Amino acid sequence: MTDSPTHEVTQLLKAWTAGDQSALDKLAPLVYEQLHRLAQHYMAGQRPGHTLQTTALVNEVYLRLVDCGQVNWQDRAHFFAVSAQLMRRILIDFARSRGYQKRGGGLFHISLEDAPSVCSEPDPDIVALDDALKELAKVDDRKSRVVELRFFGGLSVEETAEVLRVSVETVGRDWKMAKMWLLQELSERN
């Protein structure tokens, strides 16, 4: 059964966690697919909404991977951690390759009618955010992982707590503090 796609993807996931860059290239299309679907929604003037939608999408990526690979359902935490890293990497690469970044970083608005009502805070430049997050990792690694899991991985506070094996309260505090830290960092860069 070594030739089955199942095995292949399991290998890919393992390879990725071990630092094999080619694994990333193979998994990126799955994320692109979700991205495109989401983008289509916005283009059609629909608002995918809040957590449910994103959770559903992240879950779909997850399901595709689970479906293709023998990732153990019990080892959700591991998967979430991997998938958040994966998402982060893929999204940042994507944004860079398409020039979706503002010179000097910071924040920018999307000129979509519906966007402002989704969140009152403008969408961040995620390339700049990624850089800031790297800085945060140097000062407080756990907080940077909270952001990675919550923002890039789309996880809830509870799921994040599960992955990091800390209490929900801790994640809540970390999340808030990390956001403040990142905002300050980004405003300093501007």
55-74 residues near other proteins, rule: CB under 8 A: 55-60, 63-64, 66-73
CA distances, 26 to each of 20, 29, 51, 72 (Å): 11, 7, 27, 20
CA distance 34 to 58: 8
DSSP 114: T
Exactly one of 11, 17, 26, 78 binds other proteins (CB under 8 A); which one?
A: 26
Residue among 65, 50, 2 nearest 156 (CA): 50
116 binds other proteins (CB under 8 A): no
Exactly one of 52, 103, 104, 165 binds other proteins (CB under 8 A); which one?
A: 52
Selected range binding other proteins among 12-20, 87-95, 162-170, rule: CB under 8 A: 87-95
Give residue 75's identity as a one-letter amino acid code: D
Exactly one of 43, 96, 134, 167 binds other proteins (CB under 8 A); which one?
A: 43
121 binds other proteins (CB under 8 A): yes
164 binds other proteins (CB under 8 A): no
Alpha carbons within 13 A on the beta-carbon side of 9: 18
Residue count at the site for other proteins (CB under 8 A)? 86
